[in-house]
Chains A and B, each alone.
Chain A
Amino acid sequence: MNGYNFAYLDEQTKRMIRRALLKAVAIPGHQIPFGSREMPLPYGWGTGGIQVTAAVLGPDDVLKVIDQGADDTTNAVSIRRFFARTAGVATKTHTSVATIIQTRHRIPEQALTEGQILVYQVPMPDPLAKLEPSRAETTRMHGLAEYGLMHVKLYEDITRFGHVSISYDYPVMVNDRYLMSPSPIPAYDNPKLSRNPALQLFGAGREKRIYAIPPHTEVRSLDFDDHPFRTTRAPHACDLCGDDASYLDEVVTDNQGGRMFVCSDTDHCASRQALKEAAE
């Protein structure tokens, strides 16, 4: 695009972000402060993810952008257009052909492979923020690995409800050291964080933090021996492709309580439907 650098950000800024990314990869799960810039999209709408993507994107990359698992949600469309316009890169919806996938709230159903980069948009990078609002204080807690507060929160949930009531943005321990927010993905997606062959990068623009999970790093969802971590999904099969293990969206179809369930991952669902049609 005329008047702007490749992928919008100037090279000095990209270098600053890459330095933060390198630190983040070196200390898995640790939040690295970075000089987040004002972007032409609003804070809270993916500015952190966009800056990370801009910093790692090259002209030969193939970019996929999803929001809620879908390629066609408006904000995903808007971000994909932003990079098509400012970087002129190829954009695709197939998970397998993308080299960089920017996501909000989901990890694709299809397993990622080595060499792929998953960039998460993160609203609140500090998992302790819900329990302790002061960042000065939570920084100290992370430094001392003082995570008792979070265990107490989980314990209180179990005593009150019989199970942990956190259903998304479920806190994880990365590489046995740092407590990390996986961003507001459903707890259903948490197991995919661990030992993933892809590089996982997390960008929080408004909060000015970057963190990472390097490939094959162990990530453990917090739990207790007698109350192991478990995931939830709607107990149905997708009404379009028939998958009974994928994460589903519930769609209201009428005023009489009619519901149908469809895959939240649109590429996964479309691929399965195409396969089914080809077989018929």
Chain B
Amino acid sequence: MAYVAVKGGERAIDNAHAWLDSDRRGDPAVAEIGVDQIREQLGRSVDRVMAEGSLYDRDLAALAIKQAQGDLIEAAFLLRAFRTTLPRFAASTPVETAAMRIRRRISAVFKDMPGGQILGPTYDYTHRLLDFTLAAGHTPAPALREAAEQAVAPRIHDILGHEGLIEPDVASDAEPFDITREPLAFPAGRDARLQSLARGDEGFLLAMGYSTQRGWGGTHPFVGEIRVGEVLVEIVPPELGFAIEIGEITLTECQMVNQFAGSRTVPPQFTRGYGLVFGHGDRRAMAMALVDRSLRASELGEAATAPAQIPEFVISHCDNIEATGFVEHLKLPHYVDFQSELETIRRMRRDVEAALLQEAAE
């Protein structure tokens, strides 16, 4: 066989893209899915893509999901690459989750409390039985939402805080670190860590949080509260000097309450792990709160030995856009390096074989 130089990379790429386009469309006899359908009917996918893509835009997230054939990491990547090109007009004031318009709010530490427990639209108590009526198409019965719509709920740590049983919230006017603009260095502040976790890979956060429950850096967590709902986003334009509303976003917030034995200077009290994510995502917010608390090990004077307690390990590996890029780059050609490895291993084998021959001769 004669050697034909590997030409035509350009044509191959064009052909691959065309094939991908038709593969994405699937059977043309089946109706094409609309971006609005994804936005309305695959809301949890949209939420995850917005969180990991760190851009709150339900329509663009739905488009990304369609474009990525439902590959959510690929969709988050599309959103991130778009986000990075956007100009920054302003930074919002901190969102006020205490004033959230609540859809769901549960606590595992108090049976009842001001504002009450509201399950909201949750899968928690569904029986995981495939619902074949959904396959046939189905119109749901109207849902009762009044209880939720009237709820005004103080945050759980405001309740515990009255007795000084939980570490206080420390307000700060310092400019927060921005992981999208500045290179992260270690040790990283909690602001940088929380930003990284908020857009970290859900599977990774889940596994890290889970590992702390199985003894790899236990934190004795209780779900102080999970709340899901809409909050207002406000900015203060310099020319006005006062806050104006620019929109509303859905958030899930998790306050984890963790045991703490106290130290020489601090009496025993509960500490907190915090999770705040775009959209409706209990799993994601809870995992984030577990990991946030375990990453505070050194700060609280605990021995940091488990993976989930090592900030550099967790933060450097939680980003699935970085991770998928580097893992998948192994697909790229490496023949130059492999060639040098081939020559090296051949030389090493020659050396060993020569030594064996000499040994046999002696």
A240-263 near B? 1/0 per residue, CB < 8 Å = 100000011111011000101010
- In the complex, the answer to whether A167 meets B183 with C-beta atoms within 8 Å is no
Known A-B contacts A42-B77, A123-B329; the reply to A72 vs B185 at CB < 8 A is no
- The CA of A247 and the CA of B339, in the complex, are separated in Å by 9
Question: Is A96 on the interface with B (CB-CB < 8 A)?
Answer: no
- In the complex, the answer to whether B85 meets A250 with C-beta atoms within 8 Å is no
- In the complex, the answer to whether A253 meets B3 with C-beta atoms within 8 Å is yes
Known A-B contacts A68-B336, A72-B7, A168-B336; the reply to A40 vs B321 at CB < 8 A is no
Within 8 A of A (CB), among B327-362: 327-329, 332-337, 339-344, 347-348, 351
- In the complex, the answer to whether A73 meets B337 with C-beta atoms within 8 Å is no
Which residues of chain A have C-beta atoms less than 8 A from B182's C-beta? 35
- In the complex, the answer to whether B77 meets A77 with C-beta atoms within 8 Å is no
User: What range describes how many residues of B lie at the interface?
Assistant: 35 or more
A4-45 near B? 1/0 per residue, CB < 8 Å = 100010100000000000000000000001111111101111
Which residues of chain A have C-beta atoms less than 8 A from B87's C-beta? 10
Within 8 A of B (CB), among A216-234: 232-234
Question: Is A175 on the interface with B (CB-CB < 8 A)?
Answer: no
Known A-B contacts A38-B81, A105-B337, A186-B339; the reply to A45 vs B344 at CB < 8 A is no
Question: Is A64 on the interface with B (CB-CB < 8 A)?
Answer: no
Q: Which residue of B lies closest to A44 (CB)?
A: B329
B115 → A minimal CB distance (Å):
39
Known A-B contacts A35-B182, A161-B348, A266-B5; the reply to A167 vs B337 at CB < 8 A is yes
Size of the A side of the interface (Cβ < 8 Å), in residues, is 68
Question: Is A272 on the interface with B (CB-CB < 8 A)?
Answer: no
Question: Is B301 on the interface with A (CB-CB < 8 A)?
Answer: no
- In the complex, the answer to whether B344 meets A165 with C-beta atoms within 8 Å is yes
- In the complex, the answer to whether B183 meets A35 with C-beta atoms within 8 Å is yes
Which residues of chain A have C-beta atoms less than 8 A from B187's C-beta? 136
Q: Which residue of A lies closest to B79 (CB)?
A: A38
- In the complex, the answer to whether A254 meets B1 with C-beta atoms within 8 Å is yes
Question: Is A134 on the interface with B (CB-CB < 8 A)?
Answer: yes
B345 → A minimal CB distance (Å):
9
Known A-B contacts A35-B182, A42-B324; the reply to A67 vs B340 at CB < 8 A is no
Which residues of chain B have C-beta atoms less than 8 A from A135's C-beta? 185-186, 312, 316
Question: Is B305 on the interface with A (CB-CB < 8 A)?
Answer: no
Greatest chain A CB density within 10 A among B77, B183, B324, B340 is at B340
B67-98 near A? 1/0 per residue, CB < 8 Å = 00000000001001101110100000000000
**Which stretch in B9-17, B153-161, B205-213 binds the other chain?**
B9-17
Question: Is B184 on the interface with A (CB-CB < 8 A)?
Answer: yes
Partner of A168, one of B12, B81, B327, B337: B337
Q: Which residue of A lies closest to B187 (CB)?
A: A136
21 interchain pairs, CB-CB under 8 A: A8-B85, A38-B321, A43-B324, A44-B329, A47-B325, A70-B6, A72-B6, A72-B9, A74-B12, A74-B333, A123-B326, A136-B187, A169-B337, A184-B336, A187-B340, A206-B322, A208-B184, A232-B347, A234-B343, A250-B342, A266-B5
| 14 further contact pairs, Cβ within 8 A, besides A44-B327, A106-B336 | A10-B87, A35-B181, A38-B180, A67-B332, A73-B333, A75-B333, A78-B13, A167-B340, A167-B344, A168-B341, A208-B184, A240-B3, A247-B336, A264-B336
Q: Which residues of B contact A (CB under 8 A)?
A: 1, 3, 5-10, 12-13, 77, 80-81, 83-85, 87, 180-187, 312, 316, 321-322, 324-329, 332-337, 339-344, 347-348, 351
Q: Which residues of A contact B (CB under 8 A)?
A: 4, 8, 10, 33-40, 42-45, 47, 67-70, 72-78, 81, 104-106, 123, 134-136, 139, 161-163, 165, 167-169, 184-188, 206, 208-209, 232-234, 239-240, 247-251, 253-254, 258, 260, 262, 264, 266
